[in-house]
Amino acid sequence: MHDMGTENEDGKMTKVALVTGASRGLGETVSSFLAGMGYDLIVTARGVDALEAQASTLRDLGVHVEAIAGDVADPDHRIRLARAASEWSGLDLLINNASNLGPSPLPSLHEIPLIALRRVHDVNFVAPIALIQLLLPLLKMRQGWIINISSDAAQGGYEGWGAYGSSKAALDLASLTLAKELSSDNIAVVSVDPGDMRTDMQQRAFPGENISDRPWPDETLPFWAWLLSQEPQSVSGSRFEAQAESWEYSGRVAA
């Protein structure tokens, strides 16, 4: 058993978060922010070296970190994450951030190989739902919340973005549905469009182009500070744009 989930110096239980796609880009930014807030963390990503480097950085902030490399679309990996999380005293926060862009350059939806389309949806939509199903008992223990990372492509109908955008649109609808279904358990669910950022995924989406005009993921930090200061049920069912000038929410989701 791990020594995580113990009481802190104030006598309160340490908060625990699981972040997927945590080694780079937005996942790196958010996991670092959570560590700075004192969250103990379970982090996962496909790249072992990058994940271990990020885990080491997080541990330097004085929190407990368990790094488990793997692919969230792999059922066995999801089971490993759930088993690891079960050794902590509940889960306060699940951030489904890991995403698959699809082939680069981006193919049109009427030409994309179906195997690639399925892969995008497996990572971006099926895997988050599967993780939620596995982790739900732990989230119920803490009346935690779920944050699903979306995209403006979910609403834009952009050429070439059909696979990615449709997977994120499905995740948006799932987030709203789950917010309603889980409100009686006091589990909040929101989706977040982080906006365009200077990341490896953005560069793959625009191969050969200069993306230096995009902001770094740190640009979203004011949003995360605001969101995590809210009462979870008061924002449940909402979809936020992290780089908006201000953030509004629709209020508590009816049971």
- Is 168 designated active site? yes
Q: Does residue 43 contact residue 70 with C-beta atoms inside 8 Å? A: no
- Is 249 designated active site? no
DSSP characters for 57-102?
HHHTTT--EEE--S-TT-HHHHHHHHHHHHTSS--SEEEE------
- Is 150 designated active site? yes
Query: Sign of dihedral through CA atoms 102, 103, 104, 108?
Result: negative
Selected catalytic residue, list 150, 167, 191, 236: 150
Selected catalytic residue, list 23, 32, 166, 168: 168
Packed helices 162-181 and 114-121: angle between N→C axes, nearest 10 degrees: 30
C-alpha 30/C-alpha 88 separation (Å) is 20
Q: Are strands 40-44 and 16-20 parallel, antiparallel or unpaired?
A: parallel
Q: In the chain, what is the greatest distance between 2 CA atoms, to the nearest angstrom?
A: 57
Backbone angle region of 251, left / alpha / beta, with phi > 0 → left and psi within -120 to 50 → alpha: left
Indicate the helix (H) or strand (E) that contains 136.
helix 127-142
Selected catalytic residue, list 164, 167, 191, 238: 164
Place of tokens 């796609």: 21
**CA angle, residues 67, 216, 213, in degrees to nearest 5:** 150
Indicate the helix (H) or strand (E) that contains 193.
strand 188-193
Tokens of 43: 């982090």
Question: What are the catalytic residues?
Answer: 150, 164, 168
